[in-house]
A and B are shown apart, each in its own frame.
Chain A
Amino acid sequence: MHRVSKLSFPLRPALFLLVPMAIALLAACTPENNQSTFGTAGPIAKDQADLFNFIFWIAAVVFILVEGAIIYISVRYRRRSDSDKLPHQTHGNDRLEITWTIIPVLILAVIAVPTLTGIWEQQNGVPDDQGEVLNVEAIGHQWWFEFRYPNHEVVTSNELHIPVNRPVAFKLESQDVIHSFWVPKIAGKVDMVPLNDNYMWMIGDEVGEYYGQCAEFCGIAHAHMRFRVIVHTEEDFQAWITGMHTAPDAPVAGSPEASGKNLFAANCSSCHSSDTTSPGSYAREVTSQQARWNGWISDIENSGIVSAPNLTNFGQHTTIGAGLKDLNQASLEQWITDPSSIKIGTRMQKHAAVYDTADGTAKLSPAEVSDIATYLLSLKPGSAPAGAVADAGGDVDGADVFAANCTSCHSTGDNTVVGPGLAGVGDRAGSRVDGMDATMYLKESLTDPGSYIVDGFPAVMPEMGHLGTESIEALVTYLKTLK
């Protein structure tokens, strides 16, 4: 019989093995890390971490016993000389087999008890004894999070505000692909699945700012689909809610903010709402967001509209790009100019007309970008009382209204942007529908756009009723002048 070269027990390789393991152990988890599942700030995450620790230590004992046995047996029974001594040719031992079948069953039973308790505590809705529940609808979009507070009629994006020590019940939704909602320090994740609304609840028990991230692979910008959870004291939370119902002060004429406002209206506002403060505006935003989705999905290739983060009081945000960068003038300008320099794959850059350039950067001068950024950063609760309707006072110029609200989809020439070009609409409008003159037709088209879709165009235009009667009438007057 051939014999391979004699070997002592390869201690040296074993050492090589132990060293990296030790290094790895030393680098063990740091609870301070932003998404550490150990540095918990809520009872659910804590229960989950405790259960992990419980199983971990049981596993550690099993690990040491099994690995210890492997090393012990390998050393003790290794071939010491060239002897080909035959060990006893045992076939097995039934009693041992039964023993090592039963012991794991018992260990697993021990693990199963807290596991099952945990499942029913965490996944069966908010228990009754946890205090007043805050309801939130969290919606995953490619690639950002929308948060709606139906009871408070507040909608925001990427930064979730919740009160400390109060249970928050989430309805998790998605329209596009599967996402997963995860705030490691406060609670484990639950997926956001199209057609399958999910529910979860959590409590943040420490005031602070926490990191969240989409955990289910959802496409090109999955790595950048992040969010923040800001846990407030109850008072701060109520103040935030009040603030979200308070419109920003109107910019001073001639200021960069005023210029930025117009530029925003012309280039950004068909996808980004920024005025969801007044009564009724919440319902409108919910409808508009659905209309944007319908518009996008009905013609993905050519759509100029996508679901987009609501930017109401955006100046209060601390991050941009779904939690990617700290929000400031510089980062916002970079984002507006070329989103892909921060986050590759945004729907905004792909679909918005303003990015329809050779290199994909915005069709805006640096000064214009700066103005928009300044304007957005100025969007903070203003001095008007909460809930007031921010109405444009004085004379309304239809051309301004058009510039602010319509130009991202309609040109005044013959070319199609999203909707038809409006050259000559004043002449056509009167003859489109029998028994309707131009004024009636245009007004109806603005307040209920679904009524008379021009053949060959998607039914994506949002209702414009929220502009107010005055603006609508000014707009109609302006449109009739288009020859």
Chain B
Amino acid sequence: MTTKSLKFPQAFPRPKSATGIWSWIGTVDHKRIGTMYGIVSFIWFLVGGLEALLMRAQLASAENDLIGPEAFNQLFTMHGTTMVFLVIMPLSAAFFNWLIPLQIGARDVAFPRLNALSFWIFLFGSILINFSWVTGDAPNGGWFGYAPNSGTTFNPGLGMTYWVVGLNVLGVASIAAGLNFIVTILNMRAPGMDMFKIPIFTWMTLITSVLIVLAMPVLAVAGIQLMTDRVYGTHFFNSLGGGDPVMWQHIFWLFGHPEVYILILPAMGIVSEVLPTFARKPLFGYPFVVFAGAVIAFMGWFVWSHHMFTVGLGPAANTAFSISTMLIAVPTGVKIFNWLGTLWGGNIRLNTPMLFSISFIAMFTIGGLSGVMHASPPTDAQQQDTYFIVAHFHYVLVGGALLGIFSGIYFWWPKFTGYFLNEKLGIANWALMMIGFNLQFAPMHWLGMDGMPRRIYTYAENMGWEGSNLAASIGGLILGIGILVFIFNVFYSKMNKVMAGDDPWDGRTLEWATSSPPPVHDFDVIPQVQYRDDFWFKKYPETISEYYHDDHDQAVPSGAQLDDEVEEALPVVSGGSDDHGHGAIHLPDMSYYPFILSVGIAILGAGFITNTYVVGAGVPFILWGLLGWSMEPVNDPE
């Protein structure tokens, strides 16, 4: 088809090289982007961990003067912000990137260049927020930036401006990635893979992406409002001008609670892949696990005010949000029971990924139970804003999300690289992390019940908090050593490679069907899917009837029939600019424009912090990126 199209003058030739720095800057390969997400967010993980250790050092003893209040406030603000927005979310994104196309039998995501754009914006946004350390003016208003303490009246420095602008930039990256994965999962599945045959991790990614797409705009609104308050003197949250500080809390937590599920659902997805693989059994109650995830995501929108039980919303509101919060424990419980059901009767291999996954269930259960305790406003009146809450959400986010992510790292490392992570070091890594984690956070429960408020940089000697705090600090150190063992493991395993082969764990899902590491085009032949856990049942066809025979809904593996229809009836159209057919191996070419566009957005953001002229400087980059992008064909003519 020869058709006329618009041409944009190219400043650089289109990138072609497969190696070197430019091959990374121009890449649109979901695996490379996933790797970059992983590396960058792991570096931020070390930064955030260091921030935590500094705080633990300060709190190790009473009336310690190692770190003053100003630095301490900056540390806990940046620790929270870093771990939520720069570590767990992008680490999950690293898994989305690597795995979703592989799990659904696709050659890339739906919009490869948009995918690259997400990563670059994330990178620049994360640097922007952390650049505040360099200027010595790091954010100091807490990671949920309560107004009016985050406004210029009480917080005149640039710190919170960095914070709010950085979050807005990161929000753009998250929304773009969320849209991409929604479309990818809905539209790019291998022939025959209907929605109830996609792997559970893919399901959780879809649900997470929907949450991201709907929740991040709410954060963007809060962010824009606080930013205009700070930069242009509007009154959204300025109590002196009539703005209501409680409004900030409503908007922030309306985003913030779905955010909690954005953080935990991917880890739940990872665990739901690891447990069946090493129990050598399918996931127990697949539709129920999916449904529970969807219910959690839905109900997550109706519980935000449980962060505000002490704000004075009145008994009626507290009653309503208390009940909705308790109810959300039900689908969470359903997931835990289904994981136990998966293990029950299995042939369980207790290796590193499995230990991390089982520990996830154990630790997440603790976090869930303490969550029920402060779902009750009368008990929350004592627990709110104390170390009990700190303990609770670290059990959910470290004991939950982070253990899940580590499980995923050990599980899929052979697929990412072709070789194993060392098992003995892995066990040591797991043991140290578990000991350190529990020693650090279990005593915080007692500290909270003993009346220690969070976010205090020091405490008096006569409060009885020293023992638990010291234990927590030692625990933090052990946890840190566990992370160092992991880093050592990465390098050790790279130097002493134990090759894994394509399917080292006797896997169940499609990513194990291709080589390790996968070729650039993922699959030589796009798989035809008939079953849930299609790869497994093709390896062990004798087990198909065991899985399908006693459930009529599942009894019709209609895949084969559908395949024919798909192949015969649907003509291949190369319509959309980023579309690529499932049939021929036809990958999108590399592109610089995502990088250029993200540079523009970063400059724009920096402009809101510094001055308006810099905003103007960002615009040409954005126009260059957008116009170049929109006129660049997915593939240059050969």
**Contact, chains A and B (beta carbon distance below 8 A):** yes
Q: Least Cβ distance of B62 to chain A in Å?
A: 11
Q: A236-266: which have CB < 8 Å to B?
A: none
Give a binary string over A87-105; 1 marks a CB under 8 Å from any B CB, 0 the rest. Answer: 1111111001100110011
Given A88-B345, A115-B376, A116-B319, A62 and B369 touching (CB < 8 A)?
yes
Indicate if B420 sits at the interface (CB-CB under 8 A): yes
Query: Within 8 Å of chain A (Cβ to Cβ): is B288?
Result: yes
Do B450 and A35 have beta carbons less than 8 Å apart?
yes
Do residues B318 and A119 form an inter-chain contact, with CB atoms below 8 A? yes
* Chain A: minimal CB distance from B531 (Å): 11
Which residues in B have their C-beta under 8 angstroms from that of A116? 319, 322-323
Digitize A335-373: 1 where CB-to-B-CB distance is under 8 Å, 0 elsewhere: 000000000110000000000000000000000000000
Contacting residues of chain B (415-455) with chain A, CB-CB under 8 angstroms: 420, 423-424, 427, 430-431, 434-435, 438-439, 442-443, 446, 449-455
Indicate if B589 sits at the interface (CB-CB under 8 A): no
- Known contacts A2-B500, A88-B345, A189-B381; is-contact A24 B439 (Cβ 8 Å): yes
A90 touches B282 (CB 8 A): yes
CB distance from B341 to the nearest CB of A (A): 7
Contact A10 B435 (CB under 8 A): no
Interface assignment of A416: CB less than 8 Å from any CB of chain B: no
Beta-carbon contact of A36 and B449 below 8 Å:
yes
Q: Which chain A residues border B453 with CB–CB below 8 Å?
A: 182, 213-215, 222
A60 to B601, CA, bound (A): 50
Interface residues of B in 130-169 (CB under 8 A from A): 141-142, 146, 148-149, 153-156
**The one of B69, B366, B382, B449 that contacts A345, using a Cβ cutoff of 8 Å:** B69
- Complex interface: chain B residues within 8 A of A24 (CB): 438-439, 442-443, 446, 468, 471
Residues of A within 8 A of B483 (CB): none
Docked complex Cα distance between A105 and B334 (Å): 11
Residue A178 lies at the interface, judged by CB distance under 8 Å to chain B: yes
Interface presence of B240 (CB below 8 A): yes
Whole-angstrom distance between the Cβ of B163 and the nearest chain A Cβ: 14
Do B350 and A188 touch across chains, with their CB atoms under 8 A apart? no
Q: Is B581 an interface residue (CB 8 A)?
A: no
Chain A CB within 8 A of B174 CB: no
Contact B450 A36 (CB under 8 A): yes
Inter-chain contact B547/A90, CB cutoff 8 Å: yes
Instruction: Collect the chain B residues with CB atoms within 8 Å of residue A85's CB.
Output: 280, 347
B141 to A: closest C-beta gap in Å? 8
A68 to chain B: closest CB distance in Å?
Answer: 10
Are B540 and A215 in contact, CB atoms less than 8 angstroms apart?
A: no
The yes or no answer to B349 lying at the interface (CB within 8 A) is yes
Q: Are A188 and B385 in contact (CB under 8 A)?
A: no
CA distance A172 to B310 in the complex (A): 12
| Complex CA–CA separation, A38 to B543 (angstroms) | 56
Most chain A CB neighbours (cut-off 10 Å) among B246, B366, B451, B455: B451
B326: Cβ under 8 A from any A Cβ = yes
Which of B45-53, B357-365, B565-573 binds A? B357-365
Which residues of chain B are within 8 angstroms of A62 by Cβ–Cβ distance? 365, 369
B55 to chain A, nearest CB (A): 12
Take A2-B504, A111-B326, A123-B377 as given contacts and tell me if A7 and B350 are in contact as well, using a CB distance cutoff of 8 Å.
Answer: yes
Q: Are B547 and A191 in contact (CB under 8 A)?
A: no
Q: How large is the interface on B (under 10, 10 to 19, 20 to 34, 35 or more residues)?
A: 35 or more
How far apart are A241's CB and chain B's nearest CB, in angstroms? 28
- CB neighbours of B381 from chain A (8 A): 48, 122, 187-190
- Distance between Cα atoms of A10 and B343 in the complex (Å): 17
Cα of A10 to Cα of B547 in the assembled complex, Å:
31
Binds B, one of A49-57, A436-444, A445-453: A49-57
| A29-B449, A62-B369 known; A5-B423 Cβ under 8 A | yes
Chain A residues positioned under 8 Å from B310 (CB to CB):
180, 188-191, 215
Could you say which of A48, A91, A196 contacts B312, with CB atoms under 8 Å apart? A196
In the complex formed, the residue of A with least CB distance to B308 is: A191
Give chain B residues whose Cβ lies under 8 Å from the Cβ of A28: 446
- Check B73–A87 contact: CB distance below 8 A: no
Give bound CA distance, A223 to B547, whole Å.
58
- Provide the residues of chain A in CB contact with B154, threshold 8 Å: 142, 176-177, 219
Q: Give the residues from 62 to 82 in chain A that come closer than 8 angstroms, CB to CB, to chain B.
A: 62-63, 66-67, 69-70, 73-74, 77-79
Q: Secondary structure of the A side of the interface?
A: mixed
Query: Are B146 and A216 interface neighbours, CB within 8 A?
Result: yes
Interface size of A in residues (CB-CB distance below 8 Å): 111
Q: Please, which residues of chain B bring their CB within 8 A of the CB of A23?
A: 439, 471
B455 adjacent to A222 (CB under 8 Å): yes
A52, B455: Cβ atoms closer than 8 Å:
no
Q: What residues on A are CB-neighbors of B369 within 8 Å?
A: 59, 62-63
Across the interface, which residues of A come within 8 angstroms of B340, CB to CB?
Answer: 66, 69-70, 73
Given the known interface contacts A52-B373, A191-B311, the answer about A217 and B246 at a Cβ–Cβ threshold of 8 Å is: no
Q: Which residue of A lies closest to B312 (CB)?
A: A198
B37 on the A face (CB < 8 A):
no
- Decide yes or no whether B355 CB sits under 8 A from chain A: yes
- Beta-carbon contact of B288 and A97 below 8 Å: yes
B284 at the A/B interface (Cβ < 8 Å)?
Answer: yes
Provide the residues of chain B in CB contact with A2, threshold 8 Å. 420, 499-501, 504
Residue of B nearest to A36 (CB): B450
CA distance A223 to B475 in the complex (A): 23
Q: Are B450 and A177 in contact (CB under 8 A)?
A: no
Q: State in angstroms the CA–CA spacing of A104 and B384 once bound together.
A: 24
- Kindly supply a per-residue 1/0 record for chain A positions 108-132, scoring 1 wherever the CB is within 8 Å of any chain B CB and 0 otherwise: 1001101110111011100000000
Interface presence of A394 (CB below 8 A) = no
| Cβ contacts under 8 Å, B189 to chain A | none
User: When the two chains form the complex, which single residue of A34, A79, A176, A195 contacts B451, counting CB atoms closer than 8 Å?
Assistant: A34
User: What residues on A are CB-neighbors of B376 within 8 Å?
Assistant: 51, 55, 111, 114-115, 118
Chain A residues in 8 Å Cβ range of B460: 324
Q: Let me know if A20 is at the binding interface, CB within 8 A.
A: yes
Instruction: Judge whether A30 is part of the interface by a CB distance below 8 angstroms.
Output: yes
Of all chain A residues, the one with the shortest Cβ separation from B498 is A2
A382 to B423, CA, bound (A): 78
Alpha-carbon distance A300/B446, docked complex (angstroms): 40
Closest 6 CB pairs of A and B: A188-B381, A35-B451, A118-B378, A92-B285, A223-B456, A198-B312
Known: A97-B334, A217-B455, A344-B70. 16 other contacts (CB 8 A): A2-B499, A5-B423, A38-B449, A45-B382, A51-B379, A66-B340, A70-B362, A89-B281, A89-B547, A97-B338, A115-B375, A118-B377, A184-B451, A191-B312, A215-B310, A218-B149
B-side residues, CB < 8 A to A, are 68-70, 73, 141-142, 146, 148-149, 153-156, 239-240, 242, 244-246, 279-282, 284-288, 310-312, 314-315, 318-319, 322-323, 326-327, 329-330, 333-334, 336-338, 340-341, 343-351, 355, 358, 361-362, 365-366, 369-370, 372-373, 375-382, 384-386, 420, 423-424, 427, 430-431, 434-435, 438-439, 442-443, 446, 449-460, 462-465, 467-468, 471, 475, 499-501, 503-504, 506, 540, 543, 546-548, 550-551, 554
Pairs A–B under 8 Å by Cβ, sample size 18: A1-B506, A9-B350, A10-B431, A17-B438, A21-B442, A34-B463, A38-B449, A45-B382, A55-B373, A74-B350, A79-B348, A112-B323, A120-B319, A122-B381, A123-B314, A123-B318, A220-B70, A344-B68
